[in-house]
Structure 1
């Protein structure tokens, strides 16, 4: 059974924006696309650990603010010639609220 954590209203994140959620398991970047889809990634680029939450959201990707690596919001994988991956956390939107999968966060902290 999945336990979902309510992390706030969808309107709390601007379209094509992000916010950081600090958890016991680390900082998570939560992104909202221009189509109101929500994705969550570990807030760390696989290249030099840049803060993805400060990057530019475009389509279903975010560009790291440090060295312009493009990271898929769906998979966490670097795109193009770059290689690497950051962790993803399941999210959903219910009644205008963003929910994040607590079990995935706990599994990450145990690793």
Structure 2
């Protein structure tokens, strides 16, 4: 994996999100209440809602437009909703957020 620095962990409040623009589109970075970080597509597959503006609860996010809920771990829609959002490899290293650039390059080439 080829990791790129995309910012500080402290740039994202607990139970909050930030967006980074990449070659595959906007990626939402979420920080959960237990300080885990997840990277997913910022676009809800239902009506295109900005997931980064949604509510983070546990390891899930609720879309702000129509309340669809997605797992931040798997990208799968929860409950009766159907669909999935893309997930991306992210890690925290010395307080910095690192995103897998190799994965981004592979998805942009597909």
Fold shared, TM-score > 0.5 on shorter chain: yes
Q: 3-state SS of the aligned residue for 1:108?
A: helix
* Aligned mates of 2:91, 2:104 — CA distance in 1: 15
Q: For 1:104 and 1:45, how far apart are their aligned partners in 2? A: 20
Deviation of 1:25 after TM superposition, in Å, equals 2.1
Find the counterpart in structure 1 of residue 87 from structure 2. Answer: 88
Q: Which runs of 5+ in 1 are unaligned?
A: none
Distance 1:53 1:108 in 2: 20
Q: What TM-score comes out, normalization by structure 2 length?
A: 0.97
Q: Does 1:109 align with 2:108?
A: yes
Indicate the residue corresponding to 2:49 in structure 1: 50
> What CA RMSD, in Å, does the superposition of the two structures yield over aligned residues?
0.7
State the shift of 1:108 in Å.
Answer: 1.4
Structure 2 matches for 1:29-48, cutoff 5 A?
29-48=28-47
Task: Provide the residue aligned with 1:74 in structure 2.
Answer: 73
Offset from partner CA, 1:41-72 (integer Å, 9 cap, x none):
01111211111000000000000000000000
DSSP 3-state at the match of 1:41: strand
TM-superposed CA distance for 1:79, in Å, is 0.2
- How many residue pairs get aligned? The number is 110
| Unaligned ranges ≥5, structure 2 | none
Normalised by the length of structure 1, the TM-score is 0.96
